[in-house]
Chains A and B, each alone.
Chain A
């Protein structure tokens, strides 16, 4: 989330990727940050689907390694509440890039990348379950880990670690009942 003051040094291997991303999302649509060996493209939410599609088809980043999110509520220097990241890798060259985007309350929404990678299916469902980010275009966006009737999104920062008492609410069986 933080951007350093000096422009980051982009590895030469990632220059063509950045060119492709900028050709889709525009010069302002993509900012870059580099930390250790991670190169991150911050893409505006509306363009992320197109950027990912083009990175896959034109740059050979054929594998979606990871898709998840974080809640940046009260995070130092954060402007948006939910950050969603896509870790992409090229199987043949091992090139790796992280595409980041964001969403905000009250209705966090993003385009689903289900059609680009089938592997995104359950990962998007998990993000929906844990953070409540809705992925438009996902064919089967249901809760995956929590029970269907659960109402909260437990990985949000305003949800307490110990829950709101849901875990205590079951019938107790006695010896005679059983």
Chain B
């Protein structure tokens, strides 16, 4: 970090009132214990997410009870429930609106892989289109599982976190499974033309009108 012109924390003589730590660790320690989740709750898992926030399970014990519905205030997105074609551009837009550093928990089978909904409308796992840090299995997962995933994420943050988000740099390629589009025949690689005014849907991908007709 010194080479980027940022002072590195210098070791002091240890005496009362001072803590000596690496800045990275200090930042990670702060971040992991005050995660602000953005509940992207679409379906059944959203109710379990509410149950996790309610009194019996009480996610506040892990410092993550400050649910904020504005993505600008959050650093943890919990995608709870299946994400469908119409919703994915919204999801990506909200993800882009969240400030760095940010993490994503994919809660439940539907968000992680499409689950039982292997149909025309459901995206087969959000990790094909978004970076995901922790997957939670279950349909829906129990609140305890979601709490465990928060603990796991805290562990990940304390291991890899840096104060300037160096761990995210240079990762310019999507890291999830390959988009299924590439596995299809060229003739089947169609999309509906993207005319959502505000979407992040791609304009460069082929549209159904470009499809060679038999």
- Whether A and B touch directly in their complex, counting CB atoms under 8 A apart, is answered as yes
Binding site for B on A (CB under 8 A): 146-151, 154, 159-178
Interface centre among A151, A164, A166, A167, by most chain B C-beta atoms within 10 angstroms, is A167
In the complex, are the beta carbons of B120 and A162 less than 8 A apart?
yes
The main secondary structure of chain A at its interface with chain B is loop
In the complex, are the beta carbons of B88 and A170 less than 8 A apart?
yes
In the complex, are the beta carbons of B195 and A160 less than 8 A apart?
no
Residue numbers in B under 8 Å from A163 (CB-CB)? 119-121
Does B40 have its Cβ within 8 Å of any Cβ on chain A?
Answer: no
In the complex, are the beta carbons of A171 and B92 less than 8 A apart?
yes
Binding site for A on B (CB under 8 A): 84-86, 88-89, 92, 95-96, 98, 100, 102, 118-124, 128-131, 168-176, 179-181, 184, 188-196, 200-202, 205, 208
Known: A146-B86, A171-B201, A171-B202. 18 other contacts (CB 8 A): A146-B85, A147-B86, A149-B193, A154-B120, A161-B119, A162-B120, A167-B122, A171-B200, A171-B205, A172-B179, A173-B92, A173-B95, A173-B96, A173-B174, A174-B174, A176-B172, A177-B96, A178-B131
Residue numbers in B under 8 Å from A148 (CB-CB)? 195
The main secondary structure of chain B at its interface with chain A is loop
Number of A-B contacts (CB under 8 A): 116
In the complex, are the beta carbons of B190 and A172 less than 8 A apart?
no
A149–B131 Cα distance when bound, in Å, is: 27
- Distance in angstroms from B24 CB to nearest chain A CB is 18
CB-contact partner of B89 in A154, A168, A170, A177, under 8 A? A170
Residue numbers in A under 8 Å from B193 (CB-CB)? 149
In the complex, are the beta carbons of A168 and B180 less than 8 A apart?
yes
